[in-house]
Amino acid sequence: MASYTFYAFWRFEYVFLLLSSTLLDYICARQIERATQSRIRKTYLFLSLFFNLGVLVFFKYANFFGDNIVSLANLLGVEVSWVTWHLVLPLGISFYTFQTISYTLDVYHRRLNAEKSIINLALYVSFFPQLIAGPIERACDLLPQFNQLKLRFSQEAIYWITLGFFKKMVVADNLAPFVEKVFNPEIRVEVVDYLWGMYAFAIQIYADFSGYSDIALGIALLLGVRLHQNFRQPYFASSFQEFWRRWHISLSFWLRDYVYFALGGSQSKRWATLFTYRNLLITMLVGGLWHGSNWTFVLWGALHGALLMAERPWLRPTIQYPVLRFLKQCWVFHWVALAFVIFRAQNVSQAIEIIRQIGEGIVQVVGAFDLETFPKVGCFFAVVLVLLDWGQQKKWFIPTTSNNGWRYWVRFGILTGLFWAIMLFGVFRGAQFIYFQF
């Protein structure tokens, strides 16, 4: 009830979408498990997928497909009209839809027994810490924990919550005004600001999204539930494959298990390379389109698919010299940051223009930005965040419940510093998390 009440505070009527999805998947999963005939099992699976994907497509992509069909028809000389539907996108629909789909598919493939308690299944679909923006949890990991819910105060939970608020309020929200100015087509900025804007948004979206995930992880721990860590220092990745094992991990693994593997995964037969590349590209296109109904997201997914394909022949075990690894990390980060320009732009035309401006700005990078408008606070604490990620990468202060050793005091000092940074430099205007729109 608490999770449904939490969701109802936003839009009460959309609670019925959550309830409908839960009831349907409960019935379908139970029938799939009981059925012995393949035809009946497939019928209930189709019913579940049709409803969940149908609701997602209706709310998120109806206008996108309608507008593009009209544009294509008009291009062919056929007069077609489309009335734009002004639909309010349900919060978290992309996240909980993928979560319910994974549950039904796991039952169908006999990787999981159908949940007998509809209360537990309803909690799985609507668990409020991760309902709005993930991580996308699997039923096999989450459902068993609901049988032992208990309030548990732990240092680890406080660590994740504090770190999450620091990322969001001190780093992301202090960078947001500068990013908004750079990506606003009605505001003209210095050429070099587009380059700094690219870096600023790459840090902003990481701090914003991983900040939410950290807060969700910490709140769940207070309830006795352990969620998966959704980010593992992604900007330290030295390959694009490694990046997607560190960035939005729950979505990456969902796409791998339910799209990439369903398409055939890495092929070992004739024409294997072409089939593998096809599967990679389709998977990343689905991942791009999952984010929203705009060609920028499709292009962003296609670019990441192309990068994964381009590096694949070179992913061989090699001696990792520190300097070589650092250069590879820089290479991957700059491509990821450039791709985020497409992700953030309002349309493809704006993305192309900003990328062109970035190319011109590179030659003007030294001493060519306005210190008055430069996000000094955000940039300073972005460096602090990089150092924190580096420390976690080196396992210098692992956030466990252990109260022994020097790591305890390091963690205590970090928590104290983060708390005062939030109090002194945090943005308390209630800025929305970026991934709430997805």
Among 109, 228, 248, 291, the one annotated catalytic: 291
The H-or-E segment that residue 263 falls in is helix 261-263
Identity of residue 209: F
Select from 26, 23, 6, 4 the least CA-distant residue to 15.
4
Q: In the annotation, is 291 catalytic?
A: yes
Residue-by-residue DSSP string for 34-66: H--SHHHHHHHHHHHHHHHHHHHHHHHHHHHHH
Q: At what angle do helices 322-344 and 191-222 cross, to 10 degrees?
A: 100
**The dihedral sign for the CA sequence 216, 221, 225, 227:** positive
Number of residues that make up the chain? 438
- Rounded to whole angstroms, the Cα distance separating 254 from 176 reads 29
Residue position matching structure tokens 């035809």 = 39
Select from 354, 358, 385 the least CA-distant residue to 206.
385
Cβ–Cβ under 8 Å, residues 220 and 123: no
The H-or-E segment that residue 240 falls in is helix 240-244
Which residues are known to be catalytic? Answer: 291
